[in-house]
Amino acid sequence: MTPERLARGHELVARYPRPQSALVPFLQYCQEQDGYVTLQAMRDAAELVGITPGEVESIASFYTLLFKAPAGKHIVQVCRTLSCMLRGAEDLQAYIKRRLGIGHLETSADGQYYYEEVECLAACDRAPCLQHNLEYHYDVTPASFDKLLDSWQASAPAPAMPAE
Amino acid sequence: MSETKMVKLLIDGQEVTVPDGTLVVEAAKQLGTQIPVYCYHPKMDPVGLCRICLVEIEKAPKLQIACSTRVTEGMVVRTMSPKVAEARRGVLEFLLLNHPLDCPICDKGGECDLQDFTMEYGPGASRLTEPKLHKPKRVDLGPTIVLDEERCILCRRCTRFDNEIAQERNLVVVERGHNSLIGTIDGGDYESYFSGNTTEICPVGALTSKAYRFRARPWDLSHADSVCTQCSVGCNYRVDARFGNIMRTFTRENSDVDGGWICDRGRYTFNYLYEPARLREPLVRRDGDLERASFAEAVALTAEKLGAAAAAGRAGVIGGGRLSDEEAFALQLFARKVLGTNNIDHRARLQRYASPARFGARLRDLDDADLILMFGAITPEQAPILDLRIRRAVARNAAHLVFVGPFKPDLAVPFHYVEYATGAIGDLMEALADALKRGAQPQGAFAIDLARNLNEASKIVAVHNGRNPVAASALEQLIETLLAVGKRGGILVVGSQGNARGAEAVGCVPNLGPGYAPLANAGMTTAEMLTAAANGKLDALFIAGANPALTFPDGALARKALESVPFLAVAEQVMTETAAYANVVFAAASQFEKRGHVTNLEGRRQAFAQAVEAPIYVATDAAIVSALASALNKPDVLDDDPDWLFSRLQAVEQAAKPAEPLARPKLDPSVTAHGDNLDAQRKTFTVVPVPKLYAGGGPSLHDPGLAPMRPQARASFHEDDALLLGIAQDRVVTLTGPNGSITVAANVGTSAAVGTVLVTADMPEAPVNRLLDASGRGRVTVTPAPLRKEALA
Ligand code: SF4
Ligand code: SF4
Ligand code: FES
Ligand code: FES
């Protein structure tokens, strides 16, 4: 474990009555640094909080926001639960997939975009809902998605719209 | 202790009285009512996650789970009401939703709880019209298990076993919801000495044993109630055979011994019977080669040579620890009453005592001990199921575990490690006993610590390996002192062979007859017999179920003796390093092919039944020695009938009235009390043999079931020494002692103490006994093998 990571780990452990409580925050920290939760990060976490690597894997794989493989820089998660589906999520999903050129649980070849369909985001009153790098966007339509994509372009080039 | 409160309740109209706090499911069992369960297992904490056990309890607004609900006074439970039936149907419909229903090719078919409960309570058909969820069907989970994720009903018995019982926590649930899978970190191997138990407790056919996969259907199997003899714990198990061939072994709970579990060495060691290495007929050496011979020829030749040697007072017998009590009794009768010698000894390893002279403990005593002292005995490797009790006591009851020995072992639960050369333990214990008696402060930080622990504990169990007589008697003194101040405690001695304790008890030692009866004229110990043979002072040796060439500490002496003795007869199940020297090799029956009794490390004598027939030219050890007795004109001394032998044995033992303290087996003069002084210059290193569960020659070497788990011979160094020697992990090194050398790969870490090298014991490819003397001590120099060019590049 790098000294910085260890220091951060100790700091997190100190925040809670039980060391295990620091597990998820520590994994989140590692993910911020590495782009995803690496095998080494899981082993480090096990050592840090005093459980087995297997137990870390069990917990890490439970949380869909902890990635076990490199995911895109832009994480796009679209709700696929009832309210959103009734309000057009199905078409939106099809549109986004075509627009980004990737499918469910896939990352674009340039490593910029990751797409996933997720369960209820608890924003049913503003369906369909989309989450981009943990930020919510409401009442999304294909048109408003294009605008969002433009706004993300500052940091990443938007993929070209494939021909019909 | 306070009286347990009893409560009365009604289950399906029947009254039952059980201790307060009993689970409803257990209370129902008392009435013979089986409430279906999946996730619940009586040996593990209830988790209540499958819901199949729902029952109706009056006054409760909804159905309750019987596996987690505790009884209360006046409770009224209905386990068969229409509501319950409906709930079960619902739960089963969900469990079967994505289930592949491949019962016709599933190992579990015929003994599957999902199949059985569905037949009894389930819906006849599924209402699912969508495609089923598919998951991996042939996950290679490790050396012993293949997992079918589609069959898994996620009851988590397997992961809870690994967590609660084995305390290892490597097998876990990954992902979540209906995507959950059973797995390990990064898809690595699930490696555990106890893995096979998960295949048994899995209520469905998800976890299948590689050794048993597709080999039999449960209804085709015959069952024999047997006892494992792979180590001295003596776990009870059932041997299942199909058309006369053993297919698998299965737990047969004896809560006092095994608690319902067996280890993988015990579970999987039987397929060697069907390997080419298995001896199926006697062999006789002709013109230098061992060749097939008839039983009659082997007997005639052995009787002639052994008889002549005995007449001259120059014969000896080694063995007994692999035999049944009856046969070990027969073996010593054969030595004493047929050959007329007390030269008989079952000890072919470092172990000197298989029992404590006083204060013998029971395995159960570990359960509520609050201090467990391990002296040199590496219980996970030498007595795995005993180790499970230690794990539980430490993890669940906060028992304090102290390991005293020459290196730091790998234990599953936290422990306090005290580095002590084996020889010096005796001194330490004496000092402690002294300290406790007189209240004096013992010397040294550890001794003070331990004295404090001893003072605080109310029940102490000491576990040792019977190698160090001084430590053994010092421990007895220590327990005596503790008992005198009102504490409880006792001693367990881990046996060197499955029936070491039985062999000792029935008189396979040179100075004691059956029942520890001291004899006027002591014969020779194994070391003495081997020395005599090496010096041309013995004319014949008979060895039954022992392999001194590999296991006797002074391997050079053993090999010289076996080579020099004019006549050597060996009774064995497979070809061994020792049998290779023999003039006559008898093909001996395995424990599966005979019946009798064995005595476990706590002195419990247990009967085992015969599971299969032996191949036609294979004879039991009792049959071999009684044929030899007849050939030597003493047919009345012996019989090969286990019942005859057992009743004789019991009669002799009763007459002997063994009482504590038990008389002690004769020691070799070479045994000294004091440890090595380390070489301060570190030019030489003290060799410490380290037992490994799957090491060994004989059956375990040839068993295909154990092959994937077989360890590599290793030499482990302390990292400081490694630095000094210029050795990195995996570097090949040659260890050279005065009488021989071995070449092995190195481990570098902190388990070895500075100045010592740990060497895997009992590995035929690198026998550590090339480096040791008769008392198990050895000094070696270490030379790293030259690095190959590629490795340097
Ligand atoms: S593999 Fe078997 S024991 Fe383990 S969770 Fe699945 S069904 Fe239960
Ligand atoms: S602990 Fe010993 S007796 Fe028990 S199953 Fe394992 S080898 Fe056999
Ligand atoms: S259904 Fe989409 S946010 Fe709830
Ligand atoms: S057995 Fe009761 S919930 Fe599983």
Do B678 and B423 touch, CB atoms closer than 8 A? Answer: no
| Residue located nearest, by CA, to atom 1 of ligand 4 | B37
Cβ distance A57 to B170 less than 8 Å, yes or no, reads: no
* Residue B142 touches partner A, C-beta closer than 8 Å: no
pLDDT for B508? 98
pLDDT for B417: 87
CATH number attached to the domain at A3-62: 1.10.10
How many angstroms does the Cα of residue B283 sit away from the middle of ligand 2?
31
| Residue contacts between A and B (CB atoms, under 8 Å) | 36
CATH topology of domain A74-153: Glutaredoxin (3.40.30)
In this complex, which of B170, B175, B176 lies closest to A54 when CB atoms are compared? B170
Chain A residues with CB-CB distance to B154 below 8 A: none
Sites in chain A below the pLDDT cut of 70? 155-164
Among A59, A61, A68, A104, pick the best mutation site for testing chain B contact (most B Cβ within 10 A).
A61
pLDDT of residue B673: 44
Per-residue pLDDT, B126:
87
Contacts of B334 (CB under 8 A, 6+ apart): B317, B625, B626, B628, B629, B637, B638
- Enumerate the residues of chain B whose CB falls inside 8 A of the CB of residue A53: 185-186
Environment class of B534 (CB within 10 Å of its CB; exposed 0-12, middle 13-18, buried 19+):
buried
**Minimum-distance ligand 2 atom for the alpha carbon of B263:** 6
pLDDT in tens, B216-273: 999 999 999 999 999 999 999 999 999 999 999 999 999 999 999 999 999 999 999 9
Q: Find the length of chain A.
A: 164
H-helix segments, B11-162 = 24-30, 82-96, 113-121, 157-160
Contact residues on chain B for A55, CB-CB shorter than 8 A:
169, 172
Cβ atoms < 10 Å from Cβ of B360: 18
Query: Does the beta carbon of A93 lie inside 6 Å of ligand 3?
Result: no
- Chain B residues with CB-CB distance to A61 below 8 A: 174-176
State which residue of chain B sits closest to A38, comparing Cα positions: B186
pLDDT given for residue B213 in this prediction? 95
Is the bond preceding residue B123 a cis peptide, omega within 30 degrees? no
Lowest average pLDDT, out of B68-82, B238-252, B677-691, B722-736, goes to B677-691
Gap from CA of B203 to ligand 1 centroid (Å): 7
Is B28 a residue whose pLDDT tops 70? yes
What is the DSSP code (8-state) at residue B219? G
pLDDT tens across A56-66, in order?
A: 999 999 998 89
Number of H helices, E strands in chain B: 22, 35
Separation of B369 CA from ligand 2 center, angstroms? 22
CA of A139 to the centre of ligand 3 (A): 11
**C-alpha to C-alpha distance for B358 and B473, rounded to whole angstroms:** 9
Mean of the pLDDT values across residues B347-368? Answer: 95
* CA B155 to centroid of ligand 1, rounded, Å: 5
Q: Is A25 an interface residue toward B (CB < 8 Å)?
A: no
Q: Which two tokens mark B544?
A: 């039954």
The stretch B390-409 carries a mean pLDDT of 93
Mutate to test the pocket of ligand 1, among B39, B50, B96, B158 (most ligand atoms within 8 A of CB): B158
B169 vs A54: CB contact, 8 Å cut-off?
yes
Quote the pLDDT of residue B442.
67
**Any ligand 3 atom below 6 A from CB of A130:** no
Pairing outcome for strands B172-174 and B181-183: antiparallel
Tell which residue, B310, B306, B304, B330, has the closest CA to residue B319: B330
Domain edges within chain A? 3-62, 74-153
Please give, rounded to a whole number of angstroms, the shortest distance from the CA of A115 to a CA of chain B: 19
Residues flanking ligand 4, CB < 6 Å = B 37-40, 48-53, 65, 67
Q: For residue range B102-150, what is the model confidence (pLDDT) as tens digits?
A: 999 999 999 999 999 999 999 888 898 999 999 999 999 999 999 999 9
pLDDT at B142: 95
Spatial separation of the C-alpha atoms in residues B56 and B58, rounded to whole Å: 6
A55 shares contact with chain B (CB less than 8 Å)? yes
Write the single-letter amino acid at B397.
N
Which among A39, A52, A55 is the nearest to B186, CB-wise?
A39
For residue B376, the CA-to-ligand 2 centroid distance in Å is 19
Which helix (H) or strand (E) is B716 found in, with range?
Answer: strand B714-718
Chain B residues within 8 A of A57 when measuring between CB atoms: 172, 174, 183-186
pLDDT score recorded for residue A142: 96
pLDDT score recorded for residue A164: 45
Q: Are strands B512-513 and B488-493 parallel, antiparallel or unpaired?
A: unpaired
Task: Report the residue from B168, B174, B176 with minimal CB separation from A57.
Answer: B174
Q: Which of B469, B455, B461, B384 is closest to B426 using CA atoms?
A: B469
- Which residues 6+ apart lie within 8 Å of B349 measured at CB? B496, B497, B551, B552, B553
Whole-complex ipTM = 0.86
Helix (H) or strand (E) holding A59, with range, is helix A53-62
Q: What is the pLDDT of residues B743-781, one digit of tens each?
A: 999 999 988 988 899 999 999 999 999 999 888 889 999
Say whether pLDDT at B791 is over 70. no
pLDDT per residue as tens digits for the range B561-601: 999 999 999 999 999 999 999 999 999 999 999 999 999 99
DSSP codes joined into one string, B301-351: HHHHHHHHHHHTT-EEEEE-TTS-HHHHHHHHHIIIIIS----EE---SS-
Helix (H, G, I), strand (E, B) or coil at B62: coil
Q: Which residue of B has its CA nearest to A119?
A: B177
Check: CB of residue B578 under 8 Å from CB of residue B552. no
> What is the reported pLDDT for A156?
55
Q: Which residues of B touch A104 (CB under 8 A)?
A: none
- B260 pocket-lining for ligand 2 (C-beta < 6 Å): no
CA B258 to CA B577: how far, in whole Å? 32
User: Is the per-residue pLDDT at B97 higher than 50?
Assistant: yes
Interchain proximity A58–B184, CB inside 8 Å: no
CB contact set of B532 (below 8 Å; sequence gap of 6+): B316, B524, B538, B561
Task: Give residue B206 CA to ligand 1 midpoint distance, Å.
Answer: 6
Q: Which residue of A has its CA nearest to B177?
A: A62
Instruction: Quote the ligand 1 centre to B226 CA distance (angstroms).
Output: 27
Searching chain A, which residue's CA lies closest to the CA of residue B178?
A: A62
Q: What own/partner pairs with CB < 8 Å and gap ≥ 24 does B667-670 have?
A: B667/B352, B667/B469, B667/B525, B668/B525, B668/B527, B668/B528, B668/B774, B668/B775, B670/B527, B670/B773, B670/B774, B670/B775
Burial classification of residue B119, based on how many CB atoms lie within 10 Å of its CB (0-12 exposed, 13-18 middle, 19 or more buried): exposed
Q: Is B185 on the interface with A (CB under 8 A)?
A: yes
Alpha-helix runs per DSSP H in B538-620: 548-551, 555-564
CB-nearest to B169 from A42, A52, A61 is A52
| Interface residue A120 vs chain B (CB under 8 A) | no
**Rounded distance between C-alpha atoms, residue B69 and residue B64, angstroms:** 7
Q: Are strands B245-251 and B584-587 parallel, antiparallel or unpaired?
A: unpaired
Q: Cβ atoms within 10 A of the Cβ of A68, count?
A: 17
pLDDT above 50: residue B675: no
Q: What is the pLDDT of residues B455-509, one digit of tens each?
A: 889 999 999 999 888 888 888 988 998 999 899 999 999 999 999 999 999 999 9
Q: Contact B135/B175 with Cβ under 8 angstroms?
A: no
CB-CB contact of A48 with A9 (8 Å):
yes
Give chain B's domains with CATH numbers.
6-80 (3.10.20.740), 128-274 (3.30.70.20), 283-350+499-655 (3.40.50.740), 363-493 (3.40.228.10), 685-792 (2.40.40.20)
Q: B531 or A69, which is more confident?
A: B531
Residue with tokens 């590496």: B378
Average pLDDT, chain B: 93
Residue B450's pLDDT is 79
